[in-house]
């Protein structure tokens, strides 16, 4: 077992950190306040090879593994979780094509994302369902070799600026997961309506919109997954993107911790720096140990994916754990800053608002716990004999 990053990974971390400090950190507050979409920052990330991290080299991409992506994501998120979500969304949108696309689709779409500055979004959720992916209502009707889409998608990150959207829709809502198919939708297609930005609590630099689909004709070459295969593809996509949410949460928590250390060493109360008091030291010790643990779980889930292992369970553990860490650490950071933590003067207020989203998108913390408890209750192999079979003598 080796916990060291390779030289290449250390170089990638340095590159991402420098980018985050130079291009993201200085504009984080501005985009949060204005809720504008940080298009110039995302374009810069594309120019500097920090967008579309997972596209294989075969299609002209950077060919990074998931662990590499998590290293980049932590750095971006440490500077601004909202801008980081906007940057990483291309990975989420492209992942179903990387996993399930045919050779022609990969050459065409993935190649385009590398060669031109293009955005691709991901759409399973609707206004009436998010957690219950099999309960979607957006319809896909077969018409010869083509499909026609009708319905609405909601909460679509980067949707207002997306060139493509990977859309999941059902041929029959009664069939639940067996009816779900997936499509590559060109946002310029007739019948696609990209909604206005929906204002949010946090991660305000990320664009969130509804997407309307009215008689949108999908040519044969853009059918990504046939009915029944779409649900599996969505779940496989989440197993690859949930570790990255863990990395987002680690980056957000790490910054809240660093700001807390700075403040605790400087701010005085009762004639001494507050960092001299054991209750503040305990908070900072808990922050550090939790950030470390969240990063290790995130790396493990990403490493398993890179080994070609089934990382469904570890990705749920990493996402659930790291999301809670981000929420707890940012909450405690506000406490350490006292009244100033509650003001917009310091950045911890923003990190606190930004952190909440990790417990919600790409499967809520409750859904991750359902995945984990299903495994533990049904498949976990006990080391000891059953409590009912033990010799009581
Ligand atoms: C800012 C933002 C960006 C997003 N971006 C995207 C995107 O790009 N693409 C996309 O497709 N979606 C996106 N989403 C949608 C997101 O994935 C959903 O909001 C999320 O999955 C939860 O779905 P919901 O909001 O419908 O809540 P619901 O599913 O209605 O859940 C409501 C509450 O009930 C709980 N709950 C539900 N079922 C159970 C159960 N069986 N047991 C216990 N508790 C349960 C949930 O955990 C939650 O606490 C985004 C959401 C947000 C807020």
Instruction: Spell out the per-residue pLDDT of the chain, length 393, in tens.
Output: 889 999 999 999 999 999 999 999 999 999 999 999 999 999 999 999 999 999 999 999 999 999 999 999 999 999 999 999 999 999 999 999 999 999 999 999 999 999 999 999 999 999 999 999 999 999 999 999 999 999 999 999 999 999 999 999 999 999 999 999 999 999 999 999 999 999 999 999 999 999 999 999 999 999 999 999 999 999 999 999 999 999 999 999 999 999 999 999 999 999 999 999 999 999 999 999 999 999 999 999 999 999 999 999 999 999 999 999 999 999 999 999 999 999 999 999 999 999 999 999 999 999 999 999 999 999 999 999 999 987 665
Burial grade of 339 (CB within 10 A; 0-12, 13-18, 19 or more): exposed
pTM (two decimals): 0.97
Question: Which fold, 7-118?
Answer: Butyryl-Coa Dehydrogenase, subunit A; domain 1 (1.10.540)
- Looking only at the bridges linking them, the beta strands covering 208-218 and 146-157 are antiparallel
Residue whose CA is at the smallest distance from ligand 1 atom 4: 155
**Architecture per CATH, 231-378:** Up-down Bundle (1.20)
The per-residue DSSP string of 68-137 comes to HHHHHHHHHHHH-HHHHHHHHHHHHHHHHHHHH--HHHIIIIIHHHHHS---EEEE--BTTBSS-GGG--
Q: Which residues line ligand 1 (CB under 6 A)?
A: 121-125, 129-131, 155-157, 200, 208, 357, 360-364, 366-367, 370
- Architecture (CATH level 2) of domain 121-227: Beta Barrel (2.40)
* Coil/strand/helix, residue 390: coil
- From the CA of 366, give the closest atom in ligand 1: 47
Ligand 1 pocket: which of 361, 368, 370, 371 to mutate (most atoms within 8 A of CB): 361
Question: Among the options 23, 332, 349, 362, which is catalytic?
Answer: 362
74 is catalytic: no
Residue extent(s) of CATH 1.10.540.10 domains in the chain = 7-118
* CA of 200, closest atom in ligand 1: 1
159 in Cβ contact with 207 (< 8 Å): yes
The boundaries of every CATH 2.40.110.10 domain in the chain are 121-227
Rounded to the nearest whole angstrom, what is the distance from the C-alpha of residue 238 to the centroid of ligand 1?
A: 13
Which residue's C-alpha comes closest to atom 43 of ligand 1?
366
What stretch(es) of the chain map to CATH 1.20.140.10? 231-378
């Amino acid at each position: 077992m080796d916990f060291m990053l390779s030289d290449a990974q250390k170089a990638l971390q340095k590159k991402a950190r420098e980018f985050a400090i130079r291009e993201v950190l200085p504009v984080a507050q501005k985009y949060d306040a204005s809720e504008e979409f940080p298009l110039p920052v995302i374009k810069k990330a594309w120019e500097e090879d920090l967008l579309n991290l997972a596209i294989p080299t075969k299609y002209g991409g950077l060919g990074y593994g998931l662990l590499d992506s998590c290293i980049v994501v932590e750095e971006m998120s440490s500077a601004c979780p909202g801008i980081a979500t906007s940057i990483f969304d291309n990975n989420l949108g492209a992942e179903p094509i990387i996993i399930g696309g045919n050779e022609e689709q990969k050459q065409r779409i993935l190649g385009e994302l590398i060669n031109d500055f293009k955005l691709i979004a991901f759409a399973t959720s609707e206004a009436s369902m998010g957690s219950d992916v099999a309960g979607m209502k957006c319809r896909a009707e077969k018409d010869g070799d083509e499909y026609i889409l009708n319905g609405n998608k909601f909460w679509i990150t980067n949707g207002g600026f997306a060139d493509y959207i990977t859309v999941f829709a059902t041929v029959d809502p009664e069939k639940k997961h067996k009816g779900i198919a997936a499509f590559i939708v060109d946002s310029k297609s007739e019948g696609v309506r990209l909604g206005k930005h929906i204002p949010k609590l946090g991660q305000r630099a990320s664009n969130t919109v509804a997407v309307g689909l009215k008689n949108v004709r999908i040519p044969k070459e853009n059918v990504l997954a046939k009915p029944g295969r779409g649900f599996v593809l969505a779940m496989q996509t989440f197993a690859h993107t949930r570790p990255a949410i863990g990395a987002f949460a680690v980056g957000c928590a790490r910054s809240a911790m660093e700001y807390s250390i700075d403040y605790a060493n400087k701010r005085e109360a009762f004639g001494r720096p507050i960092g001299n008091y054991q209750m503040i030291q305990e908070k900072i010790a808990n922050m550090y140990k939790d950030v470390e643990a969240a990063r290790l779980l995130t790396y493990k889930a990403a490493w398993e994916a890179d080994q070609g292992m089934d990382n469904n369970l570890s990705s749920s553990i990493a996402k659930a754990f790291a999301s809670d860490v981000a929420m707890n650490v940012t909450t405690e950071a506000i406490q350490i800053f006292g009244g100033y933590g509650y003001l917009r003067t310091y950045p911890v207020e923003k990190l606190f608002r930004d952190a909440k989203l990790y417990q919600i998108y790409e499967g809520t913390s409750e859904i991750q716990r359902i995945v984990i408890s299903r495994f533990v209750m049904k498949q976990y192999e006990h080391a000891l004999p059953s409590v009912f079979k033990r010799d009581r003598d």
